[in-house]
Amino acid sequence: MELEAKHYDTIMDCLDEFDFERVHTVMKYLNWTWSDVKGVPEITDLRKHCRKYLQEVVRGALEREKEGGQYVMASGGFRFESKIYPDGFLWLRMSFDIADWDNAE
């Protein structure tokens, strides 16, 4: 599914506002590596990775618009969430998680 310009704009806003410096600092401290990158990923690697997954969650939400339009993915410590509202508004959330727990059933 091809994304519209407004979707790309929202993705770029998310990438521009996210604190990749902070994530990179944590990853260096923890010596957090990915299998497809030599050593700790650089900020350019993080942005590229996140752009790819943000595009995927938006596509997923668009494909499920009639069922509530929500989609979630996680990779490399990042969690990506999207929802398409009935009025067409695209909600995005991106986080970097090092610990999490819940008892939801």
pTM of the model: 0.91
pLDDT tens digits, residue range 64-105?
Answer: 988 888 999 999 999 999 999 999 899 999 999 999 888 976
Task: Please tell me the predicted confidence (pLDDT) of residue 105.
Answer: 67
**SS3 call for 95:** strand
pLDDT score of 1 more than 80? no
Q: What is the pLDDT of residues 40-74, one digit of tens each?
A: 999 999 999 999 999 999 999 999 988 888 999 99
